[in-house]
Amino acid sequence: MKPSLKPANPNFSSGPCTKRPGYNLAELDTSALGRSHRSSLGKEKLQLAITETARLLELPEGYRVGIVPGSDTGAMEMAMWSLLGQRPVDVFSWESFGSGWASDIAKQLKLEDARSFTAPYGQLPDFSQANPDHDIVFTWNGTTSGVKVNNADWISDDRQGLTICDATSAVFAMQMPWEKIDVATFSWQKVLGGEGAHGVLILSPRAVERLETYTPSWPMPKIFLLAKGGKLIDGIFKGATINTPSMLCVEDYLDALNWVENIGGLSAAVAKSEANLKVFTDFVAQNDWIDFLAESADICSNTSVCFQLKADEDQVKAIVKLLDSEQVAYDIGAYRDAPAGLRVWCGATVEKSDLEALLPWLTWAYQEVTAA
């Protein structure tokens, strides 16, 4: 039978992700709107976003946080163009975005001493191939595959190279081993349900040292510059952004950070996301027509959860369309480059009760489409 109870919030997109529970645009502080981002108030807001990010993520002493243009993509490109080229590079990819970084390194930066290690959707590459003398580029959570890195033991504590990690759908939902990560990037619009167009760049002291002692051989666009004259452009990490940010987006981000604080901090946000995944784990165990795309439980993402169904591509599309038309679940089709299936966000801004309400609808839609 067709279920009667619908999720109170049908927004299950994997980016931009749903707003925090209880979000109200009218409650944002608008005092900085219409003001210069370089005014004392603008700088104060940007600096607060930076310091609160570092505090809530529990970053080690000496790590720098900067707000940059271009969302996570912009932050990753800045890091790669500014830091790579000094030594060989190992790139690990197992989904669309990681493959994009590998392509940029090979085709745009044209690094001939780059090695690429790949795995199909649902699996992880062989991280034991990582050379500690090389720079390493990888994603922590494959947003389009629903597969995450489950440990950082493969990263050497005595490495000479830098680790550059695209962590956009992991930060604030997974515990990150910061001592193993020299560069991390993310965007507000993922785990915290913020707005698009802004990225966050986190640098370890080792990454800062690289920026101050190495100059890439290629021309650097102004918008990518992180160092000048052998010195880090320190203002980027104190609220003096490279280009003009949206102060409304900054305020929205501050609201999200305040929410993380109010629910109990980073550990509470991680626990909420993991509890949400448990809803799906139990459902998959009880139904043979649906399974995770991730080949094993230990690498299954607890944010961008990807499913494969006993259905063909057209049937999957019909299921997605049916759930959308019923206003039960929006934007849950698999990413365009991924195998046909469903992708449901279950990060901390999603309520467990909404996921539980969604499950009977998934069954109903599947039966409606496959029985036709």
**102-118 tens-digit pLDDT:** 999 999 999 999 999 99
The CATH number of the domain where 307 resides is what?
A: 3.90.1150.10
Same domain, 56 and 147: yes
Do 46 and 154 have their domain in common? yes
Identify whether 16 is part of a domain: no
The answer to whether the beta carbons of residues 277 and 305 sit under 8 Å apart is yes
Give the pLDDT band of residue 287 (cuts 50, 70, 90): very high
Task: Tell whether the model's pLDDT for residue 166 goes beyond 90.
Answer: yes
- Inter-residue contact 187 to 77 (CB < 8 Å): no
249 shares its domain with 325:
no
Looking at 217, 232, 261, which one is the last position of a domain? 261
107 to each of 78, 104, 114, 215, how far by Cα in Å?
Answer: 16, 5, 11, 20
Do 142 and 150 contact (CB within 8 A), yes or no? Answer: no
Residues 153 and 186 both lie in one domain: yes
Residue 23 in domain: no
247 in the same domain as 297: no
Q: Backbone phi, then psi, for 51, in 5-degree steps? A: -70, -35
Angle made by CA atoms 137, 141, 153, in degrees to the nearest 5 = 65
Domain count for the chain, please give it.
2
* H or E stretch covering 19: none
In a domain, 7, yes or no: no
Domain assignment present for residue 302? The answer is yes
Do both 257 and 269 map to the same domain? no
Q: Do 111 and 149 have their domain in common?
A: yes
What percent of the chain has a predicted confidence (pLDDT) above 90? 99
Q: What are phi and psi of 353, to 5 degrees?
A: -65, -30
Q: How far apart are CA 134 and CA 82, in angstroms?
A: 16
| Cα distances (angstroms) measured from residue 278 to each of 171, 281, 292, 305, 309 | 19, 5, 12, 11, 19
Reported as a single tens digit per residue, the pLDDT across 77-102 is: 999 999 999 999 999 999 999 999 99
Q: Are residues 171 and 305 in the same domain?
A: no
How many whole angstroms separate alpha carbon 90 and alpha carbon 112? 11
pLDDT at 242 over 90: no
Range of the domain at 116: 28-261
Q: What is the pTM of this model?
A: 0.97
Residue by residue, DSSP assigns 261-306 as: HHHTSHHHHHHHHHHHHHHHHHHHHH-TTEEESSSSGGGB-SSEEE
Terminal-residue alpha carbon distance, the chain: 15
Q: How far apart are CA 196 and CA 33, in angstroms?
A: 17
Average pLDDT of the residues in 349-353: 98
Task: For residue 274, give Cα distances in angstroms to 47, 149, 175, 266.
Answer: 31, 15, 11, 12
Q: Are residues 90 and 55 in the same domain?
A: yes
Query: Is residue 273 one of the residues assigned to a domain?
Result: yes
- Residue 46 has what DSSP assignment? H
Is residue 70 a part of any domain in this protein? yes
> Of 234, 261, 288, which residue sits at a domain end?
261
d(CA 71, CA 67): 9
In this structure, are 121 and 201 located in the same domain?
yes
195 and 320 share one domain: no
Residues 222 and 332 in one domain: no
Q: Is the pLDDT of residue 20 over 90?
A: yes
pLDDT, position 72 = 98
Structure tokens at 137: 């580029």
Q: Which amino acid is at 346?
A: C
In a domain, 19, yes or no: no
Q: Please indicate, yes or no, if residue 140 is contained in any of the structural domains.
A: yes
Domain boundary among 261, 276, 300: 261
Rounded distance, CA 168 to CA 355, Å?
Answer: 22
CATH number at residue 236: 3.40.640.10
pLDDT of residue 372: 80
Task: Please count the residues of the chain.
Answer: 372
Q: What is the mean pLDDT of residues 51-72?
A: 97
Q: Strands 141-142 and 304-309: what pairing?
A: unpaired
Look up residue 63 and give its two tokens: 């790590």
